[in-house]
Structure 1
Amino acid sequence: MHVTGPAALVARLRAAGCVFAEDEARLLAGTAATPAALEELTTRRVAGEPLEHLLGTVEFAGLPVAVGPGVFVPRQRTAALAARAVAAARAVPGRRPVAVELCCGCGAVGLALATAVELAELHAADVDPAALPWARRNLGPIGGVVHGGDLYDALPGQLRGRVDVLVANAPYVPTGALGLLPPEARLHEPRTALDGGDDGLDVHRRIAAGAPAWLAPGGLLLVEVGRDQVPVLTAVLARAGLRVRACPPEEDGTTVVTAGRATTPGD
């Protein structure tokens, strides 16, 4: 048993490189039911496991989101994507909107959307089987339906042409840059949630190609990428026949790109 008190716990976490060691010590101590459990959590954290996996939850857009080992931890910067999706859902005229979250992971964006807006339907999909139980845990209580499978192949056919808000936090790290990610991400999150191919946009190309068939007239696709990827993605979306707009980048360069389907065929 190594943990002997709060000061010792903080010292171990700081020595392991935890920048916010005091905060992490408080959270770990509050999660552990016994000294033995605290020692186990501390040992795992010092070994590099994400704090959120150990706590079983992360705050996203002001909401507690359940997460655990093997699942992608939603980043705080993605709250901007969720906020844009909320605004898009609120702009749907005359009825409750239908929303879909692709590459949903634990379903954090869908949870934020459905909490803020009364939806007619919420569907979420992910190709990673490990993510599905967490997504169902987060979205099931609010009526969300989670599907396992590859992008649109996972969705029920009755959604084609009916989706008002299609949001996807798809992987956009270029394969060559994966080695630059923090060990917490590289070693403890699924590669499918991180690796976006040579330029980081492989999955976005597939999402763009299918979006016109699934969006309702006037429907909107929303994705998150890095600022330097916006010009290429804009061209990809335009070739798919969508009307594209890049929102102002966040401080770290993260940019939400929206692409809309025309309201009528002649638009």
Structure 2
Amino acid sequence: NLFMPQTAYVTGAVAIHDLFLLEKDICFVNTLFSCVARVSNRHSFVPLWQPPFITRLMPEDRCHLNGIALQNGRLRYAVALGTTNHAAGWRENKASGGCVIDVPTGEIVYQGLSMPHSPRLYENKLWLLNSGHGELGVLDQDRWQPVTELPGFLRGLAMQGGYAFVGLSKAREKATFGDTPITDKKLQCGVQVIRASTGAVEAWLEFQTGIEEIYDVQFIPNCRHAFVLGFQKDDINRVFNFAEQTPSHGL
């Protein structure tokens, strides 16, 4: 399967994280401006929601909002690396400043995580990554329950068929990943497949050269081999996708 771009939206460098559809709108976590937004034909983005502790949308990455969990096509939970309301404030407590926010109410339902990412609702449970500890786990009745610990900074989670597909990064940049529990551990970059019921590693893929960070993991149904054609290589100028010609009865 070849996936190639047909339409592009210019948002500027807003540190886009989780990307998803709300009805037919392309939406994303706008980390730089601490909000959830949708794309627009007229604006860089249209804000949809922001944490209640963010008083003004500024390009300051105030809390490093980065993940959204959807439920029935609506925003349900969000994760951020802090509850701070000033520029890059989340950096002050990377080890335990992370939180989970109930989007409809704005309530902070859990605090004390280390750089959490990728919240996902699966089988009526909220799964997420406690990335600074290298943990995959479940937030159950306001209690964090680790399922397994993996050798990487975790970012990117897809749940399918009783398995969790988790992205691991080496996290070598001390300015971002320093002062977290995994800093001094030997880390890997790749994807691991975890049995959700037991936490056992069922399969893994490790990148030993060329790639050091994974930003997201997605499950593509009915596809064994996928290739994504981007804008940065000349190949995009030589690949064409056009509709079949319809019969004409005189032009």
Larger helix percent: 1
Greater relative CO, 1 or 2 (CA 8 Å, sep 6+): 1
How does the TM-score come out when normalised to structure 1? 0.29
How does the TM-score come out when normalised to structure 2? 0.31
Larger strand percent: 2
